[in-house]
Amino acid sequence: MNWDKYKQKLIHENGEYHLIFYLPEDVEFSREFDEIPIEKKKISIQLYIQKAYPSIKIASVKLMVGSMVLGTLVLQNPNSDVYGALTSKTNPIQIRINNQYVQSDTSPVIENGRVLVPIRVIGQSMGAFVHWEEKNKVAIIKKENTTIYLQANLNQAFVDGRLHFLDTPPKIINGRLMVPIRFVSESFNTPVNWDNKSKTVLINSTLPTVSDYVVKKGDTLLEIALKFNTSVLDLKKWNNLKTDMIYVGQLLRVIPPSAIIEGPSMEEIEVIPYKFDTVLGFTVKYYEGHNSSYNSLRDNNKKITDISTFSHGITKEGTLESDYSHIDMIGFSDKNNIDSFMLIHNAQGGNFDKNLAEDVLENPILRRKLIQSILEGVEQYGYKGVEIDIEGLSSDVRAEYSSFIKELKAELGPKGYLVSATLPAKSFDNPKDNWVGAYDYKAIGEYADRVVLMTYDEHWAGGDSGPVASYGWVEGVIDYAVKEIPPDKLVMGIGAYGYDWPTGEKGGKAVTVFEIDGYLKKYGGKILWNDTYKAPYYRYKDDKGKNKIVWFENEKSAQYKYKLAKARGLQGIAIWRLGLEDNNFWSGISYK
């Protein structure tokens, strides 16, 4: 980097020299600067100092953006040329006055353990009158019968004519007079506290107990704003809302994105191992050497009863095709008393091919050929049975899909093979619905030996943000399903993944728990828990300064679903998919 072009200041303090760089505040520079590895920044700064200040031993280098410290480069020894590490960005200081967050155009700073805030905050938020004398750089603050005089760079103040000494004097930063908030507040007999964890100054305030609110029926933005002592404008800003329209179940941020609130703790949720007749793991192999599903199967085989290998796609001729062999998983399962099912799908190029599947199902000849192909595959590879995962069908083939399951069972059943159907989740039946209308729970439950419900993807990457599978939604699906299908035939799907969305936008992406762990290490913060949804989530700001929200499933959220499955008498659970989960995920599942 060319450090010459940035404004800089060399100061001498306590016998040491310190160099300050004032960096641009534009987003494009921030993005490019963040992409430069720390080691390269350190080296380039060191080389610049050696060239620009060859005869001066500089103790530290501070990088500033406005009044905020972006990072500090510290000499391990002031007499050495070896430098320490750049500090990472820190969360900005929050100010909460009379239980309202106060926003400022100049961020507060900490000097000598004291928080300095723009004088404007005092005037607008504490009901005080502020007068500024430019010539002498003096601020006069009046509230009721109290008058305070503060002068820039002077560690003395007058309160109603009495002299007080300050630990830290007021100072002018970016054209704003920054004053010690505690001194001013206490002078007005207003209680002041500091919460170090959330980096919040609390003036006649307490920390809020929640950071988010789930929209309920009848709610409006105005009512929510009044409930949380904020404004509609702030709610729209914090949640990237373009209009006042909100929907039931929407999660709204009710405090500034930069504010940190602990909220309900997942630590209090006890993980109990549940035992099921069926613990099914879906396995995949996307390319040679892709072994995540196999490794999970190997590591957790004492808890897994069944696998379904996502291995065989249907063709337009009614035959089957497989890109990669799953012999290794079948062989391992056989040796470890795990039943294997050959999964039949209509996935093509990353999406489910509706037309391909419907063309085969609607043609009796092709449907019969497909059934024969399935029988041959099951016999050839030694599967226990077949898992049908044909998705995206239109409601027009409702009867044909049910007939296919009936005919498949008639062919495989007498030979001792099982037929299992994986179905999309729904909480009521609408035969005309073009996403779930094709799947007649009652008919399919009559013919199939087992039905796996995909009780995940309540929210997905292409839609609005929200839980992968909120408890209430899953409960609604299960309660409908047990009315149509015998509970001992039902298996509850459990997602082992999450989605990452831009706040208030669509266009998210799937993420694993390992990626989320990476976010935590890179961006900081903590995993939050929503007790309404019984689901964890995480908020962060990415490298481009965009606010993001991640919803995912883990061993804690799964606990509530396991308990529901047992309470409704279900056969078991099915995990999509093996290899996405971490070791903690298995703590809630008992050994066979």
Question: Does the residue 135 lie in any domain?
Answer: yes
What 3 state SS string does 253-310 have? ECCCCCCCCCCCCHHHCCCCCECCCEEEEEECCCCCCCCHHHHHHHHCCCCCCEEEEE
Strand 212-214 and strand 535-541: the pairing is unpaired
Q: Average pLDDT for residues 546-564, to the nearest whole number? A: 96
Q: Are 180 and 161 in contact (CB under 8 A)?
A: no
Q: What local confidence, expressed as pLDDT, does residue 77 receive?
A: 39
Q: Are 340 and 306 in contact (CB under 8 A)?
A: yes
By percentage, how much of the chain surpasses pLDDT 90? 59
331 & 454 share domain? yes
Q: What local confidence, expressed as pLDDT, does residue 83 receive?
A: 32
Query: Mean pLDDT over all residues of the chain?
Result: 88
238 & 314 share domain? no
415 & 472 share domain? yes
142 & 162 share domain? yes
CA distance 7 to 585: 51
- Token pair in block for residue 31: 């993005």
When divided into structural domains, the chain yields a total of 4
Question: Does the residue 503 lie in any domain?
Answer: no
Q: What local confidence, expressed as pLDDT, does residue 183 receive?
A: 86
H or E segment and range at residue 352 = strand 351-352
* 307-350 pLDDT, tens digit each: 999 999 999 999 999 988 899 999 999 999 999 999 999 999 88
The CATH number assigned to the domain holding 187 equals 3.30.457.10
Strand 509-511 and strand 498-502: the pairing is antiparallel
391 & 301 share domain? yes
Q: Are 530 and 214 in contact (CB under 8 A)?
A: yes
Q: What local confidence, expressed as pLDDT, does residue 89 receive?
A: 44
Q: What local confidence, expressed as pLDDT, does residue 263 receive?
A: 62
- Token pair in block for residue 195: 């919460």
H or E segment and range at residue 69 = strand 68-74
375 & 291 share domain? yes
* 113-166 pLDDT, tens digit each: 788 888 877 777 888 899 989 999 999 999 999 999 999 999 899 999 999 988
434 & 338 share domain? yes
436 & 578 share domain? yes
Question: Does the residue 555 lie in any domain?
Answer: no
* 400-421 pLDDT, tens digit each: 999 999 999 999 999 999 999 9
Question: Does the residue 140 lie in any domain?
Answer: yes
CA distance 142 to 150: 12
The residue assigned the tokens 């080691």 is 39
Question: Does the residue 553 lie in any domain?
Answer: no
* 13-35 pLDDT, tens digit each: 656 677 887 777 554 455 555 55
177 or 112: which leads in pLDDT: 177
CA distance 292 to 581: 10
Question: Does the residue 504 lie in any domain?
Answer: no
> 437 pLDDT band (50/70/90 cuts)?
very high
CA distance 28 to 41: 17
196 & 218 share domain? no
Question: Does the residue 48 lie in any domain?
Answer: yes
> 182 pLDDT band (50/70/90 cuts)?
confident
- Which of 18, 45, 74 terminates a domain? The answer is 74
CA distance 126 to 578: 56
Q: Is the model's pLDDT at 12 over the cut of 70?
A: no
The CATH number assigned to the domain holding 319 equals 3.20.20.80
3-class SS at 565? helix
The residue assigned the tokens 């040679």 is 288
Q: What local confidence, expressed as pLDDT, does residue 84 receive?
A: 31
Q: What local confidence, expressed as pLDDT, does residue 37 receive?
A: 64
Q: What is the pTM for the complete model shown? A: 0.72
Q: Is the model's pLDDT at 363 over the cut of 90?
A: yes
**Whole domain around residue 424: which residue ranges?**
278-495+571-589
305 & 346 share domain? yes
Q: What local confidence, expressed as pLDDT, does residue 562 receive?
A: 97
24 or 398: which leads in pLDDT: 398
- Token pair in block for residue 395: 């409601």
The CATH number assigned to the domain holding 244 equals 3.10.350.10
Q: Is the model's pLDDT at 249 over the cut of 80?
A: yes
Q: Average pLDDT for residues 536-542, to the nearest whole number? A: 93
Please give the backbone phi and psi of residue 165, each rounded to the nearest 5 degrees, phi first: -100, 140
146 & 242 share domain? no
Q: Which residues contact 30 (CB under 8 A, 6 or more apart)?
A: 65, 545
184 & 220 share domain? no
- Which of 186, 203, 220 terminates a domain? The answer is 203
CA distance 89 to 93: 12
Q: Average pLDDT for residues 54-72, to the nearest whole number? A: 68
Highest mean pLDDT among 67-76, 126-135, 275-284, 461-470: 275-284
Q: Are 499 and 461 in contact (CB under 8 A)?
A: yes
DSSP state of 589: B
* 195-230 pLDDT, tens digit each: 887 888 888 888 888 888 999 899 999 999 999 989
What's the angle, vertex CA 287, arms to CA 282 and CA 289, rounded to 5?
95
By percentage, how much of the chain surpasses pLDDT 70? 91
> 82 pLDDT band (50/70/90 cuts)?
very low
Question: Does the residue 510 lie in any domain?
Answer: no
